[in-house]
Amino acid sequence: MKITAAVSRAGEPFPRIEQADLADEPRAGELLVRLAAAGICHTDVRTHKGDGWNTPKPVVLGHEGAGIVEKVGPGVTHVRPGDHVALSGSSCGRCPSCLDNQPSYCREVIPRSFGGHRMDGSSALSQGGERLHGHFFGQSSFATFAIADARGAVPIPSDVPFEIAAPLGCGLLTGAGAVFCSFALRPGQSIAIFGAGSVGLAAVMAARLAGAGQIIAIEPQPERRRRAEELGATATVDPGTADPVAAVTSLVPDGVDCSFITVVAPPAFEAAIAMLGMRGRAIFVSSPPEPLSLHLRTLLAGGKSLRGIIGGDADPQVAIPMLLDYWRQGRFPIDRLVTTFPFERIADAFAACGQGGVIKPVLLMDRKG
């Protein structure tokens, strides 16, 4: 079938809207989804630039899709044609992590996410008879249709706007999951969050829901600091004008219980560890481009920990419906983070990533302009 897709090519500043061909019959364990919205994550931006996990090009990226199921492949029982779904990552369903409801730690997570093809080496995408890489995170949702891994498809109510559901596939799931699952933050505990982008602000909102005593957002952009305060941060710090460690420990003299690093600047990692209290925990969601020099004695002496996480340690099948319930209650205002763009303006949406006023760009496939 003919589809419209945003194709990432080597040397191009942004993905380009092009025509492509997609196999219209899903295989076992797959879905054909008509996409209505897709969030843009910094992982998409870095992979387009070639800073990811060596994803081959040309490729169709996108891993925060939402849309309507058109067809289901053999063995798919939890959704059917006509269902609305949010798409998250791909997983095997057989390894110990998958069997423990931790699909983000599937033993095949890297090839399934970044390999550019199915696990058998094939691709459902082509262009003029030539192979086009896809299956990015099991979906490649920068397109009007996708062949998606059914294990990553989460049914959502039909009245939920697709632009609200789409960002839950990765970014907002990661931020909220970090608070609810990785930290299991308890009422009264304290947390410092480095970065007030979509992941960091999702963590701010989740920390407020968890009843945190201190929620401190560390962010250089004033507009994002203001947004953090509106969404539940009890204090904000500008790392360009204040020492984050001194600022945080002035608010929490014994050190914070948790520090969450959503940025890649090496000083953030050092500061996140330095501000921890006894038995404090630091987690990060993306690694710096160069090695760090960390003094492990700091961790040893205080029983502290530093850990990387994927997807907020959350099971999307459980966490996405939960976050949508919070959204309905007005307690997890996803709409405060979203800025929508017509699909044809994907270059503008990519350029807006990282700007103060645009937290989570979301593409709408059926909107013109």
pLDDT digits (tens, 9 = 90+) for 192-215: 999 999 999 999 999 999 999 999
Q: What is the pLDDT of residues 222-262, one digit of tens each?
A: 999 999 999 999 999 999 999 999 999 999 999 999 999 99
β-pair partners for 147: 32
Cα three-residue angle 261-266-272, rounded to 5 degrees: 40
Cα 52 versus chain centre, distance: 14
Tokens of 366: 């059926």
Do strands 2-8 and 59-60 pair parallel, antiparallel, or not at all (unpaired)? Answer: antiparallel
Output Rg (C-alpha) for the chain, integer angstroms: 20
| ω into 58 cis (within 30 of 0) | yes
Residue 53 pLDDT > 60, yes or no?
A: yes
Tokens of 87: 């798409």
In contact, 168 and 84? CB cutoff 8 Å: no
The tokens 């996405």 sit on which residue? 320
In contact, 134 and 23? CB cutoff 8 Å: no
**Comparing C-alpha atoms, which of 184, 189, 182, 181 is closest to residue 211?**
189
Q: What is the pLDDT of residues 305-342, one digit of tens each?
A: 999 999 999 999 999 999 999 999 999 999 999 999 99
**Comparing C-alpha atoms, which of 170, 30, 166 is closest to residue 93?**
30
User: Cβ neighbours of residue 56 under 8 Å, at least 6 residues apart?
Assistant: 116, 133
User: How far apart are alpha carbons 171 and 200 in whole angstroms?
Assistant: 9
SS (H, E, C) 68-114: EEEEECCCCCCCCCCCEEEECCCCCCCCHHHHCCCHHHCCCHHHHHH
CB burial class (10 A; 0-12, 13-18, 19+) of residue 368? exposed
β-pair partners for 308: 284
Least confident of 4-8, 286-290, 313-317: 286-290
Tokens of 324: 């949508």
User: How far apart are alpha carbons 98 and 110 in whole angstroms?
Assistant: 14
pLDDT at site 367: 64
Cα 170 versus chain centre, distance: 3
In contact, 86 and 158? CB cutoff 8 Å: no
Residue 178 pLDDT > 70, yes or no?
A: yes
User: Cβ neighbours of residue 11 under 8 Å, at least 6 residues apart?
Assistant: none
Tokens of 37: 């919205």
Residue 347 pLDDT > 60, yes or no?
A: yes
User: How far apart are alpha carbons 45 and 153 in whole angstroms?
Assistant: 23
User: How far apart are alpha carbons 93 and 78 in whole angstroms?
Assistant: 14
What is the percent of the chain with per-residue pLDDT over 70, rounded to a whole number?
99
Helix, strand, coil percentages, rounded to 5, for the chain: 35, 25, 40
Domains of the chain listed by start with CATH number: 2-169+337-364 (3.90.180.10), 175-309 (3.40.50.720)
User: How far apart are alpha carbons 244 and 265 in whole angstroms?
Assistant: 13
Tokens of 3: 């589809």
Q: By three-state DSSP, how is residue 328 classified?
A: helix
User: How far apart are alpha carbons 202 and 336 in whole angstroms?
Assistant: 10
Give the model's confidence band at 292: pLDDT under 50 very low, under 70 low, under 90 confident, else very high: confident
Residue 369 pLDDT > 70, yes or no?
A: no
pLDDT at site 368: 52
